[in-house]
Amino acid sequence: MEKSIEKIWNEAFITEDSLIAPKINDLYNQKSKSIINKIKRTYEFDNRGLLPMAGIVTIGGILLSETIIGLYGTFLILALYVFNSRLLKRFNSLDIKSDNLNYLKSYRRIISSITRSTKKLFMFALPLAVLSIFVLAFFIKDESFLSRFITDDTTLLQTLGIGALIAVCISIICTIAYTISTRILYSTLFSKLDDIIIEMENLKEQ
């Protein structure tokens, strides 16, 4: 199929009055639009999944008598939702009037920047968030699931040490989980998008 498209494309430029080249353009436009819409829907669905998670954390915190920590955890999840939403708004900055190839390249660059930003979030911001929960639990001193790590005899420095260790472990696990889930959800779509960009570049050079 790909070879036949390239052949038709070349023949279209040989015959000046041919209308096949614009048809090939339309074909790529439709194909790329379909993939972009799928990527966008998947991103939005993935991000909206944080909202019910925030509700579960709130309810769980109340049921487990961890209201303050539960509400704080909910706040962190909602902050992640806002963070992701702001990242996704980068797509709105694209110039829809540009030609399809440049648009797709810009779209792909934004996808890469979102992936890098999210990985940095899991590597740096998440450990700080987990550590802050331990600090909060230290000052609250309530009976909780953290009481097995924090007792009345535990100092703030010890709490920070325990929290930091757990935070690093969670960060590593979440980063790996994010990498795997990204490959599962987006790998095929990203690959198709890259293929279209390469095909269009090759056709443009010929």
Which conformational region is residue 65 in: left (phi greater than 0), alpha (psi within -120 to 50 degrees), or beta? left
pTM above 0.95, yes or no: no
Which pLDDT value is given to residue 134?
85
Which pLDDT value is given to residue 17?
41
pLDDT < 70 stretches in the chain = 1-26, 28, 95-98, 141-149, 205-206
If we measure between CA atoms, which residue out of 65, 55, 78 comes closest to residue 140? 65
